[in-house]
Amino acid sequence: MKSREYMTIPNKITDKSFQMIQDEIDKLAPGYQFDDPVQEAIIKRAIHTTADFDYLQNLKFSHDAIGRIQHLMQHGGTIFTDTTMALAGMNKQKLDDLGVHYHCYIRDPRVFEIAKDQGITRSMAAIELAATVPTEKLFVIGNAPTALYKILEMVQQERLDPAAVIGVPVGFVEAAESKQALYDSNIPAIVALGRKGGSNLAAALTNAILYNLNLTTEG
């Protein structure tokens, strides 16, 4: 069997992928217009990560979430994830270069204690712990609807004031409902409406903003 030539240079593979994504967008939604260059980069990164063009329609942005996240990244804020997978997927070298802090508390002994004492999930307990950190806060949630509900609850109680939330839990039980509740709230958010999402998407959305801090949301 004759061997077939294929691309092996990483940046060329990436460039080709994004060109193919734009070509597919042109076919699926002729004339589709992104609101600004950063939103375009984020949505295309989501599609690149998942090969799912539904994100062209179901990835939503509210209350200047992108601008709030950019500010946090440029002023030494803290990112909290609900899973180690989401944290693992982020570009920590770039975060370190910017002085951005990042944590996943899901395995922290203090979280186990909070969860046990309050009778709540560890994902919820991690939000309680994160609320004590005195910096701007970005919550990146790719798995746990209960974490989104806890954020909403604590904001309503004026116990938490996040800069923004990336809310993209995947699944069936309360995944779609929690994301809709976040999108309907006053919290700056990037939300994947419906059942789709995941930790890989959560990390990709964070990286997309990180890679495009030089762009503005003004087009």
Name the residues annotated as catalytic.
Answer: 48
User: What Rg, from alpha-carbon coordinates, does the chain have?
Assistant: 18
Task: Give Cα 92 distance to the centre of its chain.
Answer: 15
Listed as own residue / partner, the contacts of 39-46 with beta carbons closer than 8 Å and 24 or more positions apart are: 39/66, 39/217, 41/208, 41/211, 41/212, 41/215, 42/66, 42/190, 42/205, 42/208, 42/209, 42/212, 44/18, 44/208, 45/204, 45/205, 45/207, 45/208, 45/211, 46/192, 46/201, 46/204, 46/205, 46/208
Six-digit token string for 70: 């950019």
> Using CA atoms, how far apart are residues 206 and 54, in angstroms rounded to an integer?
19
